[in-house]
Structure 1
């Protein structure tokens, strides 16, 4: 990794990204958006300061944006340490006063440092300068940082980063909730599509992990879903930037980086039809004497199990009657030999077997259990074979 040798007269700002991802040489490409967000905040504040000094001017003077351009000149040692410099060649004609611009950048860095300090300590106040910026600019700063990582900012490379406040995911959440009432971060949404909103180019996913219905924009993701019937069923996996409210509840995806929508209609149709066919069995269906008829209550309970399979994206087509009047679902390709039996009482009996180890696990779910998604989540999340 190259140790920066910046010209101190040109250095405007330095940031440090720490965590396991940043310990190797160079810098992860997906983290460069943090540099862009950092630079955008500084330049936006400098523009505000210019307007404060020129309240009668409606437009920025020609060339001012070029004049305040910052350049990434080095990635220093000690995790990833991007150094931003003010390009001296752009100051040759002294159009706007280089000293004034440097003072404005110093003020901008100080405001951002106070914002970081507030998020980390929950003491003091968020600077008024930060509150004047559009909220989306502040939301972008730190949104790729993961648990165990942090961002630090300074006007120059410090002797030691230990004394510089760390902008962790928790600090960011605290600061943004105070600033705008919500926060954003990278997230994966996975679950059943419960609504297509064609007019707005979005779909609604009933996400299993976050236990909420999440709005996901799909137009810019190139998704093409052929909807032939209101009875079609779709599963969705979406990655992107999610917006969370002050209570930490995911409400929507603001941007989508990847989106996969799968039609699971056929598997669901087959197993539902197979289950419904079992209702036609009469007493003695097994050998003329054995085999109890299957009640409508058992069939309805079986449909609740199928709905749970759909919600948890693990559908089997294999369903069979049991001799005592129940029905049994079986996953023939599952590594754990999973089976779920609906007993005549409506209770569920779950059984798995580890053939290699010669062990098994089982569980019983009462007939009055309503939320089968939570109850069966662990069992239906088991890895299936190819």
Structure 2
């Protein structure tokens, strides 16, 4: 594997025991990619108070790509990549923005950790918490994602997102983001009368 691993979340639960990823879980990582970009922009603006906007092309073409799924339940190894590096018409300083994405990853991990330690996130813009309406949405009751998992030393972190953590994150914002969950509804219909259109 030639790509440098950017983040390697460990997914635990019955659906991941065969070291694969259900397709609907990839939606969660799409939302994580969006959150990384927003947090990276916020960090850039905080560190550069003289700027009102991020530089042109700050996140153009930057994306996460799944490079491997390892065993240990399922460990999804993602590299961060950029189309700009391959076909650059933008200034070279835009290629140095990867450091902001590293910092964004660390910030997201620390927010999930803080909630698991019993603290509410304070340093994060509350609008960013709304991204957790999509991240973790497809987890089942027995499943979790460890965003801070260290795949090289195979050690877990406290940045574990499960249904309970996700709910705390979504309800911790000032605007109390709506909490949405996937549910299954089962019903028993004892009689259907097609003639009278009743059941």
Give the TM-score category using the shorter length. Answer: 0.7 to 0.9
1:81: Cα distance to partner?
1.8
Unpaired runs of 5+ residues, structure 1, are 192-234, 236-261, 269-314, 316-386
Local SS of the residue matching 2:182: strand
Residue of structure 2 in register with 1:129 after alignment: 124
Measure, in 1, the Cα distance between the counterparts of 2:82 and 2:54. 24
RMSD: 3.3
Cα distance change on mapping 1:29 and 1:64 into 2, 3 Å: same
- Name the larger-Rg structure: 1
Cα separation, 2, equivalents of 1:139 and 1:127: 18
- Stretches of structure 2 that go unaligned for 5 or more consecutive residues are none
- Within a 5 Å distance, the mapping from 1:1-386 to structure 2 comes to 5=1, 7=3, 10-52=4-46, 53=48, 56-58=51-53, 60-61=55-56, 63-87=57-81, 90-91=84-85, 95-99=92-96, 101-123=97-119, 125-133=120-128, 135-154=129-148, 157-179=151-173, 180-181=175-176, 182-188=178-184, 266-268=196-198, 315=199
Return the alpha-carbon distance in structure 1 between the equivalents of residues 51 and 121 of structure 2: 28
What SS does structure 2 have at the residue aligned with 1:69?
strand
Pair 1:57–1:116, CA change in 2 (3 A): closer
**Residue 115 of structure 1 contacts residue 130 of structure 1 at CA under 8 Å; is this kept in 2?**
no
Q: Label 1:136 to 1:174 Cα distance change in 2 as closer, same or farther (>3 A).
A: closer
The SS at the match of 1:17 is strand
Q: 1:247-298: per-residue Cα shift (whole Å, max 9, x none)?
A: xxxxxxxxxxxxxxx9989254xxxxxxxxxxxxxxxxxxxxxxxxxxxxxx
Residue by residue over 1:82-135, the C-alpha shift from the partner in whole angstroms, topping out at 9 and shown as x without a partner, is: 222122663366623544x23212221222112212332323x414235252x4
Q: CA deviation at 1:20?
A: 0.6
Count of aligned pairs between the two proteins: 191
- Return the alpha-carbon distance in structure 2 between the equivalents of residues 117 and 151 of structure 1: 12
Take 2:36 and 2:71, find their aligned partners in 1: how far apart are those partners?
Answer: 23
**Could you tell me whether the CA contact under 8 Å between 1:116 and 1:171 is conserved in 2?**
yes
Runs of 4+ in 1 over 6 A off after TM superposition: 262-265
Deviations 1:4-28 (CA, angstroms, capped at 9, x unpaired):
x454xx3322212110101114311
Query: For 1:110, what is the secondary structure of its paired residue?
Result: helix
Q: TM-score, normalised by structure 1?
A: 0.43
1:59-91 deviation line (CA, Å, top 9, x unaligned): 751x33335333222222212222221226633
Contact persistence 1:34–1:140 (CA under 8 A): yes
Residue 225 of structure 1 corresponds to which residue in structure 2? none
| Distance in 1 separating the partners of 2:139 and 2:42 | 27
Distance 2:193 2:36 in 1: 46
Shift in alpha-carbon separation, 1:81–1:44, aligned structure 2, 3 A: same
